[in-house]
């Protein structure tokens, strides 16, 4: 065989072998990032969380999910864990379960009403009712109620079109939202000033649109900010969630804004950032 051809064949073999080694090394490095320790640790915690939930211990399940997010932020399915934790946190907020540092057990005294207690503890009538499985606004002296006392706050990130429901620094749930076209949603710190169920839409230059109309852009709930022109509301355009598509307000899916409406009292801080 011609010596030049032989040298060429050897060179090709060396290059191919080198490529195989490089590919194997890349795969090995990629699996090291997700490494056996990560997958084993996450698998164990997910198993713990599932077992705790099956046994009705949602607080312990929450601890397991919190550990995954804190200890394994590079886990390739971390978004799924965040979604599970978010729903679990909402379930806990609406449950009768006592949560240390966030809830109290209150014994009703003569003269109490749900409105009075909601104002006293900076919560909502809806949250007290849902957490205590109350079918009406009637409460009786001697009755024991579980009341949420930890303040909530909202952080909205316009570039990602996400809303964070928080208690202090703890993120409880992440929601997808729509913000203003051309980045017009204002940046700053606001408070929820008004709350309206099934709002009428007073559109510019047109007749008011009733709450039941399929053309009502506000959806099923309105929470107005201290800037009177903007607020958080539902939508008739669920396909636009995640986009900059509004006239400046923050839109949510109706089921999501209804959830927050029951949780957030007037005066809740809202921070909007780019």
> Catalytic residue numbers?
233, 249
SS3 69: helix
- Name residue, tokens 């679990």: 88
List the structure tokens of 239: 């396909």
H-state helical runs in the chain: 3-33, 36-54, 58-71, 78-93, 114-120, 125-131, 254-263
List the structure tokens of 207: 């007749």
Distance CA 269, CA 235 (A): 22
According to DSSP, residue 201 is labeled B
Distance CA 269, CA 165 (A): 11
CA Rg, the chain, in Å?
26
Return the number of other C-beta atoms located less than 10 Å from residue 57's C-beta: 14
SS3 192: strand
Distance CA 273, CA 32 (A): 35
List the structure tokens of 219: 């959806």
Backbone angles phi, psi at 233, to 5 degrees: -150, 175
**Helix H or strand E encompassing 246:** strand 244-246
């Amino acid at each position: 065989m011609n010596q030049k051809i032989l040298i060429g064949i050897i060179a090709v073999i060396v290059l191919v072998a080198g490529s195989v080694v490089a590919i194997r090394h890349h795969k090995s490095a990629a699996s090291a990032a997700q490494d056996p320790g990560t997958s084993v640790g996450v698998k164990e915690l997910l198993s713990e969380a599932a077992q705790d939930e099956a046994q009705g211990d949602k607080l312990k399940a929450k601890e397991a999910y919190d550990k995954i997010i804190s200890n394994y932020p590079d886990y390739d399915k971390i978004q799924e864990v965040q979604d599970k934790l978010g729903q679990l946190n909402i379930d806990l907020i609406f449950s009768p379960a006592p949560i240390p540092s966030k809830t109290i057990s209150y014994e009703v005294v003569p003269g109490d009403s749900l409105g009075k207690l909601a104002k006293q503890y900076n919560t909502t009538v809806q949250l007290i009712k849902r957490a205590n499985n109350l079918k009406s606004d009637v409460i009786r002296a001697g009755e024991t109620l579980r009341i949420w006392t930890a303040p909530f706050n909202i952080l909205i990130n316009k570039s990602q079109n996400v809303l964070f429901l928080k208690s202090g620094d703890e993120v409880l749930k992440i929601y997808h939202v729509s913000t203003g076209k051309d980045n017009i949603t204002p940046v700053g710190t606001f408070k929820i000033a008004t709350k309206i169920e099934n709002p009428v839409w007073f559109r510019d230059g047109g007749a008011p649109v009733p709450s039941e109309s399929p053309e009502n852009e506000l959806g099923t709930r309105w929470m107005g900010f201290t800037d009177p022109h903007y607020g958080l509301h539902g939508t008739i355009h669920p396909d636009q969630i995640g986009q900059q598509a509004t006239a400046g307000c923050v839109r949510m899916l109706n089921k999501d804004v209804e959830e927050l409406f029951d949780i957030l009292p007037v005066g809740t801080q809202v921070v909007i950032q780019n």
